[in-house]
Structure 1
């Protein structure tokens, strides 16, 4: 009964999510407050539906569903939708909300139409602990924050090219300025780096205590530390003036793409990392 209810809720959620993106796009093209309000409340409805599905899974599994790849993807989408609503309410930057939800919608499609299924945790119940929970949730949170940095980087390049070409249209007013996008990019990375670092520390600690056989040279572990190193290097070289604004934005985009690759490919190739 729970599975049938979840399936119906997911169908409704996908339709509402797609409609919200359409209305955000129309708002950008037509500058209509009514379309903007419709898009926002559709996103809120999507968030409520996602939260209901998440709650049903918690009731069914008697745990927070983040211990497998498919569960991690769904929680990641929920975080992106949550952050987009917060940004809509605080900063009123509709174009950023649109880009963030495009990422969320793509991940939702992967979640719904992939062959991945919700199953009992691949990690034994005796190994599920607060340390593992913190490791996984903080990792997903860092990925969500890095997604925001990616969106800010894309917006920075869009605004930069518009200013460079000097082709200003009425839709230009809906874009944030260069300073806002740069600050958003940096703050997102500054926030994501320590969260990911904490996640890796907890993950290594959990593996050392709970697993009999594991290697620090596992694909997922090395990939996660590589992501941390790249983001740290991007910030460092920008601070030293060796990465100017445009290069900084492009490197932020590259770092996020590497994060996505590590999210999926690392989990697939890992010898023991059967969750995220």
Structure 2
């Protein structure tokens, strides 16, 4: 347990250093600083993965059942996706903005109890539940980065309209690229989230034994699906484009935050996430 705590502490310090270096590169371009920030983030991923593996070894279940575990998983997914996307497409600003979210999530995890035990009894857990939670957070990670891309779109659009020609514009991909990859990540995240919700409802039907349709978590999850469904529909039908579409994506992401941070705490059958 002491080793796990040590690994977590080292990870968050290195993560902070990486984000600060990315911020320095954001303020004043420096290729060496950017490279250092990237490799520090790679070290963060290695340490996060090692910590996750030690958690699996130390516990008798896949560690995604407590508040600390889900926050840690969410941060790990953001780091993983941002490293992959940056390696393929060299979007350094995307890595910076995405990992502001990832670091904030890890910082919040500091206030959660890493030694908490799931309130759900072992008889109520199943592979279906673990798959439901894992898919949900994979979708959260994809949709988080999709919203970051839309935020970058709005930033570049604002700079161009105001004719503020500065070095930041050189770091941003074209508006078309930002819009395209925001859409593609949403196309990954939304079906994954829908599948997670379907599996969760099946698990609830089998285990909870009573109607859960009026549960705040379920209702908020439907709001999330509606928000992103509207975004995808307007994108596919071209009934909305550009800035309006990017704003819709960002607003839809706020429903995810509300769904995770608010509705889960008052849900009648999600109280095991603590």
What TM-score, normalized by structure 2, do the two folds share? 0.95
Gapped regions of structure 2 (runs ≥ 5): none
1:236 shift after superposition: 1.1
Counterparts in 2 of 1:115-126, with a 5 A limit? 115-126=112-123
Aligned mates of 2:66, 2:245 — CA distance in 1? 33
Q: Identify which range, 147-156 or 56-65, moves more after superposition.
A: 56-65
Per-residue displacement from partner, 1:40-91 (whole Å, max 9, x unpaired)?
A: 1100111111111111111111221101222111100000000111112111
Aligned mates of 1:266, 1:69 — CA distance in 2? 13
1:31 shift after superposition: 1.9
Give structure 1 regions of 4+ aligned residues with deviation exceeding 3 angstroms. Answer: 115-118, 238-242
Q: 1:79: which partner in 2?
A: 77
Q: 3-state SS of the aligned residue for 2:164?
A: coil
Q: 3-state SS of the aligned residue for 1:273?
A: coil
Q: 2:43: which partner in 1?
A: 45
Contact 1:214 1:272 in 2 (8 A): no
Aligned mates of 1:99, 1:58 — CA distance in 2? 30
RMSD: 1.4
Counterparts in 2 of 1:46-195, with a 5 A limit? 46-112=44-110, 114-195=111-192
Aligned mates of 2:181, 2:15 — CA distance in 1? 25
1:117 shift after superposition: 4.0
Gapped regions of structure 1 (runs ≥ 5): none
Q: 1:32: which partner in 2?
A: 30
1:133 shift after superposition: 1.2
Change (3 A) 1:56 1:118: same
1:227 shift after superposition: 0.3
Q: 3-state SS of the aligned residue for 1:166?
A: coil
Aligned mates of 1:225, 1:237 — CA distance in 2? 18
Aligned mates of 1:205, 1:55 — CA distance in 2? 28
Contact 1:224 1:262 in 2 (8 A): yes
Contact 1:71 1:118 in 2 (8 A): no
Equivalent position to 1:18, from 16, 19, 24 = 16
1:128 shift after superposition: 1.7
Is 2:202 the partner of 1:198? no
Aligned mates of 1:266, 1:185 — CA distance in 2? 26
Contact 1:69 1:267 in 2 (8 A): no
Contact 2:68 2:112 in 1 (8 A): no
What TM-score, normalized by structure 1, do the two folds share? 0.94
Q: 1:239: which partner in 2?
A: 236
Change (3 A) 1:22 1:183: same
Q: 1:257: which partner in 2?
A: 254
